[in-house]
């Protein structure tokens, strides 16, 4: 099959459907007490114990806050929160108090020095355990590796039964339709 040869950086960025997540870090300079940003470059590194990595550009206000407080929460947005999500992913926390502007409600975390987002059905409280940088490659992002020390779920919420937002390149979409069961789809009916 003929394929187009494209720039690896651009193709990597454009080739995945990713789930945008709300990252919350303590920020004493804010009236609300925390800053919120969006990251879709988020990956699971281990299931037991649960370890998650978040790739952030050094320019992000959130980047400095994670270095300082060494903790963050990862919050799953619902489709109804799209406007607030896009606001948190576009505005700079150095300039605005995004919790105040969006009406997103911060609740104190239990396992870390930080906050969770009340409206989000799932909150993962992460303690920073490693920071990966690749200066020799001039890498654009820092990988903050966090151990999930507390996880919360709204009662009755099941990810399988609720839609989630995905981003492909610069578009928001709904994951929408169920196509099959993982590990079983190959079986004969
Ligand atoms: C859908 C979406 C996904 C994003 N994913 C990332 C990401 O993975 N890493 C990153 O550094 N910035 C990402 N951003 C950009 C930041 O969220 C954005 O620059 C934000 O304003 C940073 O806020 P802060 O300066 O308050 O930390 C994303 C933005 C959007 C809208």
Enumerate the domain spans of the chain.
19-169
Tell me, what's the pLDDT at 164? 95
Give tens-digit pLDDT for 103-130.
Answer: 999 999 999 999 999 999 999 999 999 9
Q: Which atom of ligand 1 is nearest to the CA of 41?
A: 8
Q: Check whether 12 has a pLDDT greater than 90.
A: no
> Domain spanning 19-169: which CATH class is it, in words?
mainly beta
Residue 155 main-chain phi, psi, to 5 deg: -55, 135
Question: Who wins on pLDDT, 86 or 187?
Answer: 86
The residue whose CB lies within 8 Å of the most ligand 1 atoms, and thus the one to mutate among 42, 59, 60, is: 60
Strand order across the beta sheet in which 71-76 lies: 34-39, 21-26, 71-76, 122-132, 142-153, 51-56, 42-46
Q: Check whether 134 has a pLDDT greater than 90.
A: yes
Q: Check whether 148 has a pLDDT greater than 80.
A: yes
Kindly give the distance from the C-alpha atom of residue 185 to the centroid of ligand 1, in angstroms, as a whole number: 35
What pTM was computed for the model? 0.97
The answer to whether 56 and 66 are in contact (CB under 8 A) is yes
For the segment 2-27, the average pLDDT, to the nearest whole number, is 92
Q: How confident is the model at residue 189 (pLDDT cuts 50, 70, 90)?
A: low
Q: For ligand 1, atom 15, which residue shows the shortest CA distance? A: 89
């Amino acid at each position: 099959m003929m394929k187009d040869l494209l720039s690896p950086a651009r193709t990597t960025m454009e080739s995945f459907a990713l789930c945008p997540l709300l990252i919350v870090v303590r920020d004493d300079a804010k009236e609300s007490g925390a800053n919120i940003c969006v990251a879709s470059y988020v990956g699971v590194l281990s299931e037991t114990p649960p370890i998650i990595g978040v790739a952030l550009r050094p320019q992000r206000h959130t980047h400095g806050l994670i270095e300082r407080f060494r903790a963050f929460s990862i919050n799953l947005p619902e489709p109804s929160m799209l406007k607030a999500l896009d606001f948190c992913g576009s505005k700079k926390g150095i300039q605005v108090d995004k919790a105040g502007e969006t009406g997103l409600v911060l609740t104190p975390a239990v396992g870390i020095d930080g906050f969770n987002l009340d409206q989000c059905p799932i909150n993962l409280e992460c303690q920073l355990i490693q920071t990966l940088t690749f200066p020799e490659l001039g890498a654009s992002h820092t990988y903050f590796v966090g151990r999930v020390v507390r996880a919360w779920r709204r009662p009755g919420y099941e990810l399988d039964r609720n839609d989630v937002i995905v981003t492909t390149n610069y578009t928001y979409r709904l994951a929408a339709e169920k196509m099959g069961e993982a590990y079983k789809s190959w079986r004969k009916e």
